Amino acid sequence: MSLFRSNRSRRNLMLFAVLLSVWGTPSTHAAVLSRNGEALLPVVVAPDATDSVRQSADVLAQYLGRIGGAEFLVEESDTPHGVSLLVAPDPDRPERYTITSSDTDVEVVGGSDLAVQHAVWDLLYRLGYRQYFATANWEIVPKLDAIEVDFDVDEEPDYRSRRVWYGYGTNSWNVEQYERWVARNRMGGAFELRTGHAWGGIMRRHADEFAAHPEWLALIDGERVEPSEAAKFCVSNEALRKLVVQDVLAQADADPGLDSISLDPTDGRGWCECQACAAIGSPSNRVILLANEAAAALEDAGHSRMWIGTYAYAGHARAPTIKPHPKVIVSVATAFSDRTADELLAEWDEAGVNQVGIREYHSVVTWDRNLPGRSRASNSEYLLETIPKFHGYGARFYSSESGDSWAAHGLGHFLSARLLWDVSEAERFDQIFNRFIEDCFGDAAAPIRSYFELVDGANNPLLSKDLIGRMYRLIQEARRMTSDAGVIARLNDLALFTRYVELMYAYRQGGAEEGIAVMQFAWKIRLTGMVHSYALYRDIPHRDKRIVVPEGAGANDRGSHPWKADADFTDADVEQLISRGIAANPLFDFTPRTFSGDLRPAGLGSGDLPLGSFGPRDRYDQSWLIWRDEPGAVAFQAQTGVIPSYREVRDTVFELHTIGQPIDGAVDEVHVRPDGETHDVTLETGVSGLHRLTSADAGAMTTLTFPDEMHVTREMSSDSPLHVNAGTRVVFYVPSGTEKIGGFAETDKPRVYPVGARWNEGRSVGPGYFTIDVPPGQDGMCWQIEVRSGGSKMMLMTVPPYVARRPDQLLLPQEVIDDISRTR
Mean pLDDT of 280-302: 98
In residues, how long is the chain? 824
Distance CA 125, CA 522 (A): 32
Checking if the pLDDT of 24 tops 50, the result is no
**Cis peptide, bond prior to residue 767, ω within 30 of zero:** yes
From the list 425, 362, 427, 423, the residue with the least C-alpha distance to 390 is 423
Name 75's bridge partners: 44
Distance CA 705, CA 805 (A): 12
- β-strand pairing of 43-45 with 83-87: parallel
- Whether the CB-CB separation of 102 and 84 falls below 8 Å is answered with no
Mean pLDDT of 521-537: 97
- Which residues have CB under 8 Å from 775's CB, separation 6+? none
- What pLDDT does 662 receive? 55
- pLDDT tens profile 613-671: 998 777 788 899 999 999 999 999 999 888 887 776 678 899 999 887 655 567 899 99
Distance CA 380, CA 398 (A): 17
Checking if the pLDDT of 22 tops 70, the result is no
Mean pLDDT of 105-130: 98
Checking if the pLDDT of 14 tops 70, the result is no
Least confident of 93-97, 675-679, 801-805: 675-679
- pLDDT tens profile 598-614: 899 998 987 778 999 99
The strands making up 729-734's β-sheet, listed across from edge to edge, are 665-672, 652-658, 689-696, 622-628, 712-715, 802-804, 729-734, 781-786, 751-754, 763-764
Checking if the pLDDT of 11 tops 70, the result is no
For 478-513, what is the HEC assignment?
HHCCCCCHHHHHHHHHHHHHHHHHHHHHHHHHCCHH
- Whether the CB-CB separation of 372 and 467 falls below 8 Å is answered with yes
Residue 469, CB-side half-sphere exposure with 13 Å CA sphere:
13
Q: How many helices (H) and strands (E) does the chain have?
A: 21, 38
Residue 370, CB-side half-sphere exposure with 13 Å CA sphere:
33
Query: What's the mean pLDDT when you consider all of the chain?
Result: 92
- β-strand pairing of 781-786 with 599-601: unpaired
Distance CA 658, CA 687 (A): 8
- Whether the CB-CB separation of 304 and 298 falls below 8 Å is answered with yes
Name 794's bridge partners: 722, 745
- Which residues have CB under 8 Å from 207's CB, separation 6+? 227
- pLDDT tens profile 329-349: 999 999 888 788 999 999 999
- What pLDDT does 773 receive? 94
Mean pLDDT of 296-323: 96
| Domains recognised in the chain with CATH numbers | 8-156 (3.30.379.10), 192-325 (no CATH), 440-584 (no CATH), 599-823 (no CATH)
Checking if the pLDDT of 17 tops 70, the result is no
From the list 203, 144, 139, the residue with the least C-alpha distance to 177 is 139
Dihedral, CA of residue 501, residue 502, residue 507 and residue 510, to nearest 10: 160
Distance CA 489, CA 493 (A): 6
- pLDDT tens profile 125-178: 999 999 999 999 999 999 999 999 998 999 999 999 999 999 999 999 999 999
Least confident of 427-436, 447-456, 684-693: 684-693
Does residue 804 sit in helix, strand or coil? strand
What interhelical angle do 429-441 and 485-509 show, nearest 10? 110
Checking if the pLDDT of 71 tops 60, the result is yes
- What pLDDT does 640 receive? 87
- What pLDDT does 821 receive? 86
Distance CA 33, CA 30 (A): 9
Distance CA 294, CA 503 (A): 51
Residue 629, CB-side half-sphere exposure with 13 Å CA sphere:
5
From the list 37, 12, 24, 168, the residue with the least C-alpha distance to 97 is 12
- What pLDDT does 597 receive? 87
pTM for the full model? 0.85
Checking if the pLDDT of 18 tops 50, the result is no
First to last CA, the chain: 66
Mean pLDDT of 171-197: 97
Mean pLDDT of 769-779: 94
Mean pLDDT of 677-700: 90
Checking if the pLDDT of 187 tops 50, the result is yes
- Which residues have CB under 8 Å from 44's CB, separation 6+? 57, 74, 75, 76, 77, 80, 81, 82, 83, 84, 85
The DSSP symbol for 264 reads B
Percent of the chain's residues with pLDDT above 90: 79
From the list 376, 450, 453, 458, the residue with the least C-alpha distance to 409 is 376
From the list 402, 418, 268, 399, the residue with the least C-alpha distance to 332 is 399
- pLDDT tens profile 733-743: 999 999 999 99
- Which residues have CB under 8 Å from 384's CB, separation 6+? 415, 419, 426, 429
Least confident of 375-379, 551-555, 567-571, 650-654: 650-654
Mean pLDDT of 250-262: 98
